Structure 1
Amino acid sequence: MLTFFKLIRWPNVMMTILTQLVIVYAILIPSGVELALNSWQLGLLVLSTAFLTAGGNVINDIQDVEIDKVNKPKKVLIGKNISENNAFTMYAVLTVIAVVAGFTLANSLGKPIMATVFVFVAFVLYIYATTLKSMLLVGNIVISLLVGLVIMITGIFELYPVITAGNLSAQQFMLKILFDFAVGAFLINLAREWVKDCEDLNGDHAGGRYTLAIALGRIRAARVISIFLLGVIALIVWYIYNYLYQNQIATFYFIFLIIAPLMYVMLRLWNSEKTAQFHLLSNLLKVVLLTGICSMAVINLTI
C-alpha cells in the first residue's frame, strides 16, 4: 500500500483535490452564483481528476525508470517494489476509473459531450509521458497547461451546464477569476518544470531528452528562468494593483506568501549550479503553487 501511494505521488494528488475543493467551497459557493453539481456529482469530478493525476504520475514513473536510476536511484520503485507490468496495470485501472467517472458525471448533467474532456486529458497525459516530455519546451508547456486546466475544469463543470441569459454575466465573471488563477498556476508550474530540468540534467542527458537545461546549459538555463520569474512577479504585482489593493489581507497574502518566495527563487537561480540547489528551489516553487491555491480563498474577500 505504501508503494501505491508513493507511485501515484499522493501529495500531488492531494493538491489536485484541494484545488477543486477550494474553488467550490471558498469561491463559487460563497459568491452565490448558480452551480450545477450536487455533492455526489462533485465527488465524481474530484474522483475523476484525482485518478487522472494519479494515473499520469504512474505512467511517468514507468517511462522514467532509467532516468530516475541516475537522478534519484533511492526513490526508484518500479523494478524494485513493483514490477513494470503491475505498475502499468495500476495506471490502466486508475485511468479507466477516471474516464468512467467522467462519463457518469457528464451524462448525469445531460451534457455527454463534456466527457471528452477526461478522455482528452488521459490521452495527453499518456502522450506527454511517452513522447512530449522529451521535446524541448513542449513537454513543460503541456504539463503546465494541464495544471491550469484542473482549475478551469472545476469552473466549467460547475458553471457551464446552468448558464442562462439571466445569469450569463455572473457565470462569466466567475470563469474570468478562475482563468486568472489558471494562468498563474500555469506560469509558476512552467518555471518549476524548468527548474526540475536543471535538477535532473544528468539523467535527462543520459536518457536522450532535450530540455532547456541541456539546450542552454544548466547555468544559462537557470538565469533564463530567473528572468522569466521576474516577468511572472511583475504580472502578479500588476494583478494586485488592479484588483486587490483595496483588500489588505489579500494584498499582504500575495506579497509575503507568493511574491516574496518567488523573488527568493529568482535571486537564488542567478547563482545556482548544483543539483541540491535546484532541488530546493523546485520544492519551494511547489510550496508557492500550494499557497497560490489557498489564495483563492483569500481572493473571495474582494468579490
Structure 2
Amino acid sequence: MTVTSFLQLIRWKNLVMIIGIQLLFKYSYFAIFSVATALNSLDFSILQFATITIAAAGYIINDIYDTAADAVNKPKKVIIGTIISKKQGYRYYYILNVLGLLAGFYVAYKVGKPSFIAIFIIAVLLLKVYNSDLKKMPVIGNFIVSLLVSLSILIVGVFDIIPAITDKNVVGQYHAFRVLIDYAVFAFMFMFLREIVKDIEDIKGDKKMNMNTLPILLGRKKTKNIVFLLSFIPLILVTLYSFNNFSDVPFLLAYMLIVVMLPLLYFMTRILYAKTKEDYTLASNLLKIIMLLGMLSIIVISFTIEYVA
C-alpha cells in the first residue's frame, strides 16, 4: 500500500473540503463578526481532526461494503481487495474511528459538555448502518448521507458557539448559529440531489449488489426527472433567501444569483438531457462545485459586510 492509495481510499479531497469549510466559518465569519467562541485554535483543530477521521472511516467502510459494486462502476479505482485487503481496511476503519472518538471526547470535555460526545458516536453508528443496510434502500440512504454532510457544518456551532453563550450575548450567538443552520440546509439540499444522481450513475453495479435505490426501482428516466423537479426547491429557496437577506448589498446578491444560481440552472438542463454515465458524472460534479461555491459565499458575505459597515 502506498500513501497515494490510502489518500484515495479516504477521499482526501473531500476531507480537505470539509476542513476548508469549517475554517471559513471559524476564521472568516466568526472572527469578522466578533462571535464569541469556546475553542482556541488548537482545540478547533482537534475538533476538525475528530470530524475528518470519522468521515475517513466512513469512506473506508463504504468501500469495504461496495467492493463488488465498485468493480463494475469504477473498476480502475477499486482499492479494497486489490491494493489494500479487507482485513487491512477494517483495521484502518477501527483505528480512525477510535482516534476520532477520542478527539471528540476531548473537545466535548474541553467545552464543558461531555454529553456532546454522543454526536460523534451517533455519526459513527449512522455511517456503519448506512453502509450495511440503509444504502440499499431508496431515499433513506440519500437522506442519511446528506444529513451527515450538513452535520459537519453544524458541529462547528455546536462546539464553538453554544458553549460560549451567556445572558449578554445570547441574541448574537443565536444569530450566528442560525447562519450555520442556513448553510447546513443549503449543503443538505445539494448533497441530497447529488446522492440521487450518483445512484443513477452507479445503477449497474448497484443492481449487482441487489440494492433498491430510486433509479433501480423507477428507472433512470423517471429518477432524473425527479431530480430535475427537486432542483426547483433549492433554486426557489436560495433565490428568495438571497433577495430577503442581500437586497441591500448588490454585490452579495449578484454573487448568489450569478455564481451559485446560474450554475444550478445549467445543472438542471444537463440532468434533464442526461443519457450516458458520463452525463451523470458531469451532473454530479456540477452539484459538488455549486455546493462549494455556495459555501465560499461566507467569505464574500463576511468581507463585504465588514467593508460596507
TM-score in terms of structure 1 length: 0.98
Counterpart residue type for residue 4 of structure 2 = L
Contact 1:244 1:302 in 2 (8 A): no
Once the 2 structures are TM-superposed, how far is the Cα of residue 261 of structure 1 from its aligned partner?
1.1
1:16 pairs, out of 10, 15, 18, with: 18
SS class of match (2:188): helix
CA offsets, 1:45-83, max 9 Å, x none? 010001111111111011100000111111111111110
Aligned residue in 1 for 2:27: 25
Q: Which runs of 5+ in 1 are unaligned?
A: none
Once the 2 structures are TM-superposed, how far is the Cα of residue 123 of structure 1 from its aligned partner?
1.0
Aligned residue in 1 for 2:222: 220
2:149 pairs, out of 147, 150, 155, with: 147
SS class of match (2:83): coil
Aligned residue in 2 for 1:99: 101
CA offsets, 1:99-137, max 9 Å, x none? 000001111222111111111111111111111111110
Residues paired across the two proteins, number: 303
- Quote the Cα distance in structure 2 between the aligned partners of 1:217 and 1:49: 35
Aligned residue in 2 for 1:111: 113
SS class of match (1:208): coil
**Where do residues 73-222 of structure 1 align in structure 2 (5 Å cutoff)?**
73-222=75-224
Counterpart residue type for residue 104 of structure 2 = G
- Alignment identity in percent? 36
CA offsets, 1:160-212, max 9 Å, x none? 11111111111000111110110000000000001101101111111111111
The alignment status of 1:66 with 2:68, answered yes or no, reads yes
- Quote the Cα distance in structure 2 between the aligned partners of 1:221 and 1:33: 43
Q: Which runs of 5+ in 2 are unaligned?
A: none
Once the 2 structures are TM-superposed, how far is the Cα of residue 302 of structure 1 from its aligned partner?
3.8
Counterpart residue type for residue 225 of structure 1 = V
- Quote the Cα distance in structure 1 between the aligned partners of 2:65 and 2:123: 18
**Where in structure 1 do 4 or more consecutive aligned residues deviate above 3 Å?**
none
1:281 pairs, out of 271, 276, 283, with: 283
TM-score in terms of structure 2 length: 0.96
Counterpart residue type for residue 249 of structure 1 = F
- Quote the Cα distance in structure 2 between the aligned partners of 1:156 and 1:108: 13
Aligned residue in 1 for 2:247: 245
Aligned residue in 2 for 1:290: 292
- Quote the Cα distance in structure 2 between the aligned partners of 1:264 and 1:49: 32
Once the 2 structures are TM-superposed, how far is the Cα of residue 299 of structure 1 from its aligned partner?
2.2
2:264 pairs, out of 239, 262, 265, with: 262
